[in-house]
């Protein structure tokens, strides 16, 4: 069993880096350069989050049982296409359930989550206390296309991971 400390160290990233890091670092730069920097930072953090999420399934049998017979493809992107990532739940060559991350959107996803911009996506990933997707939908910050049950399943698995590392009770 993997200790909570290992998970906790990796999930401290949102607490260590300010939400507006890309904006702060880009002060004084032209607007397009600042936006690019914010987009790059958000894309990197989303990749890190999905990579860590996939790693936690590989390391923890307790979490892996949640994806035992689960097959789904999620696409996360922004409206302007500056951030694009896919998370694919499938079986690997050994028959073990895994989550794989890809840099490009999958061709036929089960769920597509389109965020208004990179800042909204980053703010959602950083919000440890309030990750309610319905609030973002009501504010027109997010558009969902696909099976809502898969969205609920993903949020359930994220909450299970957060409980495992001690960020929630």
pLDDT at 114: 93
Report the domain count for the chain: 1
Phi-psi category of 54—alpha, beta or left, where left has phi over 0 and alpha has psi -120 to 50? alpha
Q: What is the CATH number of the domain that holds 150?
A: 3.30.1050.10
In this prediction the pTM is: 0.74
Q: What is the mean pLDDT of the chain?
A: 77
- Which range of residues forms the domain containing residue 151? 4-164
| Residue 94 in domain | yes
The pLDDT of residue 146 is above 70: yes
Q: Which residue has the tokens 């590392």?
A: 165
Please state, in angstroms and rounded to a whole number, the distance separating the CA atoms of residues 50 and 37: 20
**Res. 112 pLDDT band, cuts 50 70 90:** very high
| Residue 83 in domain | yes
Q: Highest mean pLDDT range out of 13-22, 46-55, 124-133?
A: 46-55
Range 23-51 average pLDDT: 73
| Residue 136 in domain | yes
| Residue 129 in domain | yes
Strands 111-115 and 72-78: parallel
Nearest to 119 by CA among 51, 65, 60, 45: 45
pLDDT at 2: 43
| Residue 169 in domain | no
| Residue 27 in domain | yes
């Amino acid at each position: 069993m993997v200790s909570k400390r290992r998970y906790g160290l990796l999930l401290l990233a949102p607490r260590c880096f300010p939400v507006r890091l890309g904006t702060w670092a880009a002060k004084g730069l032209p607007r397009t350069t600042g936006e690019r920097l914010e987009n790059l930072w958000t894309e990197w953090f989303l990749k890190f989050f999905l990579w860590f999420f996939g790693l936690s399934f590989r390391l923890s049998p307790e979490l892996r049982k949640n994806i035992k017979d689960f097959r789904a493809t999620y696409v996360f992107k922004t409206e302007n296409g500056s951030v694009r990532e896919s998370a694919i739940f499938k079986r690997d060559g050994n028959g073990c359930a895994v989550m794989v991350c890809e840099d490009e959107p999958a061709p036929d996803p089960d769920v597509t989550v389109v965020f208004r911009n990179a800042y909204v996506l980053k703010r959602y990933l950083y919000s440890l206390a309030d990750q309610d997707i319905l609030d973002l939908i009501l504010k027109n910050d997010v558009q969902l296309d696909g099976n809502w049950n898969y969205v609920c399943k993903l949020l359930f698995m994220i909450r299970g991971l957060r409980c495992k590392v001690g960020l929630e009770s």
